[in-house]
Structure 1
Amino acid sequence: MSNLEKLIRYILLNYPNLQELSKPRLVKLIYMIDWRYTIETGNQYTDINWIYNHYGPYVNDVIELMKQKDNIFKVDTYPNPFGGGFTDKFTLIDKTKVELDKELRNIADKFINYTYNLIWSDFINLVYSSYPIKVSLKYSSLNLVELAKEFKKHHNN
């Protein structure tokens, strides 16, 4: 099982209200966890090559993995009630507990607990306030390991 799959499974097992967990929120939550883990350990937890696209950090890796593992995850697509196309909702079919290392579990729990009840604008403001987004150009690749080194250098002085 890949680290990304473990993290997705952990989030879906522990997210307080899955009905509110949209595709953009899930992907950005994984980004925030991956970023914090990289700051604390010097290594990225997932193997995602994060891209700063038009709406912040985003990649298709998360949803693609979930669709490939259709015996574990169910992805349902619905018309977006707020307009603008479609949205995905997620179900974890295989609810087997996932063991994460203590450091990652603590980071994931903090981000889940802090963000799950934030309205979208507050959540996205948190994402946009992250160092990689503040210092990178749109449409660039976010090298979290190098950005974490820069971040630590600037914030330890």
Structure 2
Amino acid sequence: MLDKLIKYFAYATKGHITKIQLIRFLYLADLYSVKWTGKQLTELNWYYYHLSPWHQDINTALDKMNGKEISIETEYNTVLIKLGEKAKTIDDLQLPLSLKLILDNIRREWAGTGQDKIKELLDYVYTTAPMVEVKDKYKPEEKVKLNLQLEREKLVSELN
């Protein structure tokens, strides 16, 4: 599923997405899935690392797709995820409509260029329950597992 989500966000943004945005989009996709269904979309064990949600498997997946479905380029110290020669369409991914709606909401809300848009995204991610729990307790270089279930627990408590 990780590969499909990466492709979805690359295709949906027409290759106008930074690596920072992509990782946060993947985190939000898993987080929202846990929040509403209790289950993640991917099998990633998300970590707080260098002040952000992170997992090494994202880098591995990107490296594997580079030059095929996506193209990784660096411009002015920013890593961009662009469309590769073998990029297809969102429909080729055969994702359920309900999932596409969730992913498209993330893209619409947080995609865009410019430092202001990225800052808004980062600020939002830092307010999610898993990040709030760890961000002030650990050093940036420490890897700390994030508990995505905290977001679901927050929702349940708000609904009660």
Flag whether TM exceeds 0.5 (same fold).
yes
- Structure 2: runs of 5 or more not aligned: none
TM-score by length of 1: 0.81
| Distance verdict in 2 for CA 1:107–1:34, change over 3 Å | same
TM normalised by structure 2 equals: 0.79
Residue from 110, 116, 128 that aligns with 2:111:
116
What whole-Å deviation, never above 9, does each CA across 1:64-118 have from its counterpart, x for those lacking one? 112223464333342x52xxx5624332423052121232211101010111136
Residue in 2 that maps onto 1:101: 96
* Matched residue, 1:141: 145
Q: Distance in 2 between matches of 1:40 and 1:142?
A: 17
Percent sequence identity is 23
Note the 1:1-150 alignment, pairs <5 A. Answer: 3-15=1-13, 18-19=15-16, 21-70=17-66, 72-78=68-74, 80-81=75-76, 85=77, 87-92=79-84, 93-96=86-89, 97-117=92-112, 119-136=117-134, 137-138=137-138, 139-144=143-148, 146-150=149-153
RMSD: 2.2
Partners in 2 of 1:104 and 1:30 — Cα distance? 13
Runs of 4+ in 1 over 4 A off after TM superposition: none
How far off is 1:124 after superposition? 0.6
Flag structure 1 segments of 5+ consecutive residues without an equivalent. none
In structure 2, the CA distance between the partners of 1:11 and 1:127, relative to structure 1 (3 Å rule), is same
Question: How many residues matched?
Answer: 148
